[in-house]
Amino acid sequence: MTIGTAKPSPEELASVRHHLIDERHLPEPYSAGIFANEATRLIEALHRKGKIPLVVGGSTLYLHALLYGLSDIPSIDRSVRAALQQRLMTEGLEALYHELMLLDPQTALALDPHNTQRIVRALEVYHGTGRPLSSFHTTPAKQHRYSFYTYVLFRDREGLYERINRRVDKMMENGLEHEVKAIISSGIDPDTIVLKTIGYKEVVSRLRDRISQTEMLRLIKRNTRRYAKRQLTWFRRYPSFNWVDADESIDFIVNDITRIIR
Domain assignment present for 149: no
Output the pLDDT for position 142: 57
Domain assignment present for 108: yes
Domain assignment present for 106: yes
Domain assignment present for 84: yes
110 touches 60 (CB < 8 A): yes
Domain assignment present for 96: yes
Give me the DSSP letters along 165-182: HHHHHHHHHTTHHHHHHH
Domain assignment present for 122: yes
Q: What is the pLDDT of residues 195-243, one digit of tens each?
A: 989 999 999 999 999 999 999 999 999 999 999 998 998 899 889 899 9
What is the value of pTM for the model shown?
Answer: 0.79
- Boundaries of domain holding 103: 78-136
Domain assignment present for 102: yes
User: How many domains would you assign to the chain?
Assistant: 1
Provide the CATH number for the domain around residue 129: 1.10.20.140
Domain assignment present for 93: yes
